[in-house]
Structure 1
Amino acid sequence: MRYFNFLIVLFSFSSTFAQRNCEAYKYNRDTLKYEACKKAMEIKGYYQFSREYQSVLDESIEIDPTFDYAYWAKSIAYLKSGDFVTWKKLIDKAVELNPKEYLGYRGWCRYQFFRDYKGAIKDIEKLDSLVDYDIGQSQNGTYHLNIAKGLCFKAIGEKGKAIAILEKQINQNEEENIVGAYDYLHLGVLYLETENYEKAVEIFIKQSEINELAENQYYLAMTYLKIDNPVGYKSCLQKAKELYIEGRKMSDPYSNPLDKIFLEDIENEIKMAYNNS
């Protein structure tokens, strides 16, 4: 089993240019969008926060105010700089013009940056209703959008629904021999939180097989604690600490992933384990 964890940096500059094939507009005889697209591609080489970058995209929009890509590309700098009001106006315009292209992106941003779980669910479900193909991955490549939707349901307290969504998507991923880097971990934590300890142990072991993490061993330890396995509990805590120090832990350059733990969490639990023995 190989795991799926595209090495895509969120909002990387290179991704900005890969979104549009201007020749497609020319082929379809949409000369206005072709010209707007050609203009937009001139952002290559400019820093996203530069006046030149924004000016090029403004010119693209002047050529064709319905060219969705230009609004999306403009929005990136505002999101990264923390100007969320301007970002929202721009990304909303991109979604209005091309919902199939940008609903998933906006939904992911709502989840990752704003913890707007209900808004993220709404966007992902709307996208799913519009297309007859796989809705795809999160912008950073870590999750299938359905996994992200399941995590949103967990965050708003609907854990049963979250489990059902994750189980279904993971089964589909397994059939394709592609599983997300953290998929089993999140499902295992849900089993732990809903007191399904046998399944939790089973799924944490699967996570170990594809992508061992400090978080995985920590939550496995907590499961062993619940089922009165003190040897497994202490052993997994020690392994969790080793993995954390080695850097084998959940990470994201922009926010803390759901179910992430920290070294302090592990060390505090180790102290409790040995103080109570």
Structure 2
Amino acid sequence: MAPACGYGQPASGKTAGDCASKAYQDTLVARYLDRGAHRISYLDPRWAQYCDSLIAACPNIAYAYQQKAMPLIKCGDYAKSMPLIDKAVALDETRYLAYRGFLKCIFTKDYTGAITDFQRVAKLKPNGREMDHTFAFFEGACELELGHYKLAEKAFAADMALQRGADGQGSIHFNTLWYAGVAAARLKQYAQAQAYLQQCLKAYPQHPEANYYLALNYQAQGQPALARQHLETAQRALIGGYRLNEDNIFYANYPEQITEYEVTQALKNDVGAGLAPAHR
């Protein structure tokens, strides 16, 4: 059951002061957000009222629009939230452009729009990150969903290079390895897909998606026993509560994320689905 979101009513009146002053803006943020909205639940209607009061006092604070949008995003009201995010981006592109790209990729499924945002912000913040991932990570996930598998492969290669760092010693996030494995499998590069997915499972053995897609990869190579083994591991992991370990999976499905349904169907069908994408 989705949470009941309270949107509140706009506050009236305007606080005097110099809205161009960062110090003045900070005092308003402290008043309306730090000592106001942030002391109550984001589901409380007063959250939006505090944000509206901040906007009424100083309409050029990007953070106010992002904070007003946040409960709406988590409740799935994208029609109301995304115009607020657009306003935040217009006021502070460097801070919020990657965040908007993330929302488009994970929440609204506007994959083309997300790629555009990440490519733009990469020029502003080379080697930047959003939600603990490189911009290339999200670009790759979007290309994967658009069926542009070579572009996805290229994006994940760039993501891995950034994670390894200049000395080449950095570790690769297990979800990068999972996505790179899916992209390789879609390109019928089964040995490479297997290598990526096995690396993912070395870091996180209960990763449901890595086990699921490795099973499909084994099936495509005519190894049904190994396929079933990994499907059963995926099923146990999901039943046990293991997930992608991404913060926002509580509010939206990540690209290629699976449920127990896909695993159960694959087991029933003897993994007959081959390498088709997981159905939602």
Moved more, 223-232 or 153-162: 223-232
1:106 maps to which residue?
100
Q: Give the alignment partner of residue 58 of structure 2, picking from 44, 47, 64.
A: 64
1:35 maps to which residue?
27
CA contact (8 A) 2:134 2:162 kept: no
1:3 maps to which residue?
none
Q: Secondary structure at the match of 1:179?
A: coil
1:208 maps to which residue?
201
2:215 maps to which residue?
221
State the Cα deviation string for residues 213-260 of structure 1 (Å, max 9, x = none).
232222212212222233323332333333333333436111222222
Distance apart, 1:31 and its partner CA: 4.1
Please tell me the residue identity of whatever aligns with 2:179: H
Q: Give the alignment partner of residue 122 of structure 2, picking from 110, 124, 128.
A: 128
Change over 3 Å in CA distance of 1:29–1:78 after alignment to 2: closer
CA contact (8 A) 2:129 2:135 kept: yes
The structure 1 segments of at least 4 consecutive aligned residues displaced by more than 3 Å after TM superposition are 28-32, 49-52, 271-275
**Structure 1 unaligned blocks of 5 or more:** 1-24
> Quick check: 1:144 aligned with 2:134?
yes
1:253 maps to which residue?
250
Q: Distance in 1 between matches of 2:240 and 2:193?
A: 25
Q: Distance in 2 between matches of 1:152 and 1:173?
A: 19
Change over 3 Å in CA distance of 1:68–1:176 after alignment to 2: farther
State the Cα deviation string for residues 61-112 of structure 1 (Å, max 9, x = none).
2332211111111111222344323312221111111001111111111111
Q: Distance in 1 between matches of 2:238 and 2:263?
A: 9
Change over 3 Å in CA distance of 1:80–1:224 after alignment to 2: closer
Q: Distance in 1 between matches of 2:222 and 2:264?
A: 20
2:260 maps to which residue?
263
CA contact (8 A) 1:104 1:127 kept: yes
How many corresponding residue pairs? 245
Q: Secondary structure at the match of 2:222?
A: coil
Please tell me the residue identity of whatever aligns with 1:240: A
1:83 maps to which residue?
77
Q: Distance in 2 between matches of 1:243 and 1:126?
A: 38
Please tell me the residue identity of whatever aligns with 1:165: A
Q: Give the alignment partner of residue 165 of structure 1, picking from 148, 155, 159.
A: 155
Give the TM-score, by structure 2 length.
0.78
Q: Secondary structure at the match of 2:239?
A: helix
Q: Distance in 2 between matches of 1:238 and 1:64?
A: 56
**Structure 2 unaligned blocks of 5 or more:** 1-17, 273-280
1:240 maps to which residue?
234
Q: Distance in 1 between matches of 2:227 and 2:122?
A: 41
Aligned residues: CA RMSD? 2.6
> Quick check: 1:153 aligned with 2:147?
no
2:278 maps to which residue?
none
Larger RCO (CA within 8 A; separation ≥ 6): 1
Change over 3 Å in CA distance of 1:59–1:244 after alignment to 2: closer
